Structure 1
Amino acid sequence: MTAANESGLRIGTAPDSWGVWFPDDPGQVPWQRFLDEVVAAGYEWIELGPYGYLPTDPHQLEDELGTRGLKLTAGTVFTGFHKGDDEWQRAWDQALQVAGLASQLGAEHLVVIPDLWRSDATSQMLESRTLTDEQWAKLGAGHDRLGKALLEEFGVKQQFHSHADSHVGTTREVLRFLDETDERYTNLCLDTGHFAYYGGDTVQLIADRPERIGYLHLKQVDPSLLFDVLKNDVPFADAVAQGIMIEPPHGIPDLAPVIEAVAEIDPDIFAIVEQDMYGCDVDRPLPIATRTREHIFSCTHRARA
């Protein structure tokens, strides 16, 4: 049973936890079934997922969510500001679509994922794994420009998502990114699984940079598989297919200390369950999503619907 606790984080979920990575993929669960199963699993808050998966007409989407008692927390875009000034238009075109839609439904956040140095579709190496000082500067400046524009145009806050197989993944890289950006415009969607993927201590990062935590993605990594993935340089998409992101409480990090630490910073921060499961059977997500929510509410008193 979910206890009403206004000092706890609001717990939601996302299409990713149903194996959805793309707007249109015949192997993915249909969007209507996704929404129905989110309700069946007990969640009230969701993310938009890849733009075009859920209806993009704001009135239709509002009706579909409203009839199910669901609310929207955020949308997602992808950026590559380190590549140069011409990346701005690509980012802003996405923002106009995604933030434009999400903000009409009351969402106040945009999760921003950096381009990967290795393709998650083909596993092809696309560029160097590390950035030059010049590229770091372009990366930071681009995100601050985007964050400022999002606030002014839509009243939406940018939440940057470090990611496996991206240039911002390790603890040192995340800290450098924070040092390169302005907290007025750029903060973290701290993904517990992706941060642990490269050995990051989530609770320590929260303690060190509490002012930069704006949003959470909750997931766990399988620690026994992780060392094989890193040793053998397995591409992230292949690691997902092997089950690198594992159902809680069977992986790391423990979610309760993370939720409790962030709730002390701001209980209005969203904590979105997001277990990477692309390629899974369509019948697999619902039981996992249900058990995950039950686990979260049983392991900490700082969670709320």
Structure 2
Amino acid sequence: MTKPPKPSLPPSPSRPSRIRIGSAPDSWGVWFPDDPRQVPWQRFLDEVSGAGYEWIELGPYGYLPTDPAVLAEETARRGLRVSAGTVFTGLHHGPGVWDRTWAHVAENAALAQAVGAGHLVVIPSFWRDDRTGEVLEERTLTAEQWRDLTGLTERLGREVWERYGLRLVVHPHADTHLDGEESVTRFLDATDPEAVALCLDTGHYAYAGGDSVKLIESYGERIGYLHLKQVDPEVLARVVADEVPFGPAVARGVMCEPPTGVPALEPVLAAAQALDVDLFAIVEQDMYPCEPDVPYPIALRTRRFLRSCGV
């Protein structure tokens, strides 16, 4: 398979960095296609543009319009472009889930392709319910499950590229089988770089004790995408000690506004810039649920902070 080319960075004298900054519905408290506690999609688009972002992700399929013509018109008139779609998968369950997984992936990938995105973010399924904490399966994968996860993810990466021209980037996530250094490096070592890249979410990686700078320096050629996020170390210590599932941990404020948490984003961005590749860095501050007037001021401050970091 030919390695997908990375999009070229539009020339801009005000942006010496090859990192393109964006945000996502997640930073507006959006976790579901439809939820009365979430802001309407029109308000999200208005505010993300007003905060100074030019790139967005699609978020949960069905939150933003799924008609490509409507979505293209609504984003374009606000000066926005789409960087990626997002899907959850459970490929460690083996070939039996392939057809169902592909149907879900295909509708997301088709929309992402139609509006000009170049990436598809893939998040592994949770080993415990992210709201109730109910244990859904073993926390550790068997050797057979690892083979299914890596092999089927490679297949998915090739199919998504060949059919939709999107680069697959796998997103380690709290309360999934891919979270910290041990599982992430094992996954990277076992997968084909031509088929699978990594979406490094700095907050989720820190949540599991990982060092984002070390990962970028060690596996730079596998970093295909970034999510910028921080955790509050005091809240994190309490939720880990109490074995709080991810959803309630977010409600407690475990993911916090930069630059108040960890990891420090300046060295992460410096390490990413040292790779000398075009790279999306999407702000994705988990905030569910949240009051509708909370996200926009945070987005303004976060964009201003990231400019001070040179991006």
Tell me which interval the TM-score lies in, with the shorter structure as reference length: over 0.9
Distance in 2 between residues matched to 1:151 and 1:74, nearest whole Å: 13
1:259 maps to: 269
8 Å CA contact 2:131–2:246 kept in 1: the answer is no
1:40 maps to: 50
1:180 maps to: 190
C-alpha displacement of 1:123: 2.3
Q: 1:260-284, CA deviations, whole angstroms, 9 ceiling, x for partnerless residues?
A: 2112214411000000001011110
The AA in structure 2 aligned to 1:193 is G
Q: Secondary structure at the match of 1:279?
A: coil
Q: Secondary structure at the match of 1:282?
A: coil
8 Å CA contact 2:131–2:248 kept in 1: the answer is no
8 Å CA contact 2:31–2:59 kept in 1: the answer is yes
Q: 1:63-90, CA deviations, whole angstroms, 9 ceiling, x for partnerless residues?
A: 0001111000000011111111112112
Matched, 1:269 2:270: no
Matched, 1:24 2:34: yes
Matched, 1:142 2:159: no
Q: Secondary structure at the match of 2:188?
A: helix
For these two proteins, the number of residue pairs brought into alignment is 300
8 Å CA contact 1:77–1:91 kept in 2: the answer is no
1:198 maps to: 208
8 Å CA contact 1:246–1:275 kept in 2: the answer is yes
Q: Which portions of structure 1, spanning 4 or more consecutive aligned residues, are displaced by more than 2 angstroms?
A: none
Runs of 5+ in structure 2 lacking a partner? 1-11
2:5 maps to: none
1:166 maps to: 176
Q: Percent identity?
A: 58
C-alpha displacement of 1:3: 6.8
Matched, 1:283 2:281: no
Q: 1:130-171, CA deviations, whole angstroms, 9 ceiling, x for partnerless residues?
A: 101111110000100000001100110000000000011110
Matched, 1:105 2:115: yes
Distance in 2 between residues matched to 1:24 and 1:3, nearest whole Å: 40
* Distance change (3 Å), C-alpha of 1:28 and 1:41: same
Distance in 1 between residues matched to 2:276 and 2:207, nearest whole Å: 25
The AA in structure 1 aligned to 2:120 is L
Distance in 2 between residues matched to 1:173 and 1:252, nearest whole Å: 21
8 Å CA contact 2:131–2:245 kept in 1: the answer is no
Matched, 1:83 2:93: yes
Distance in 1 between residues matched to 2:276 and 2:38, nearest whole Å: 35
TM-score by length of 2: 0.94
1:64 maps to: 74
8 Å CA contact 1:6–1:267 kept in 2: the answer is no
Runs of 5+ in structure 1 lacking a partner? none
Distance in 1 between residues matched to 2:276 and 2:135, nearest whole Å: 39
2:241 maps to: 231
Distance in 1 between residues matched to 2:98 and 2:275, nearest whole Å: 32
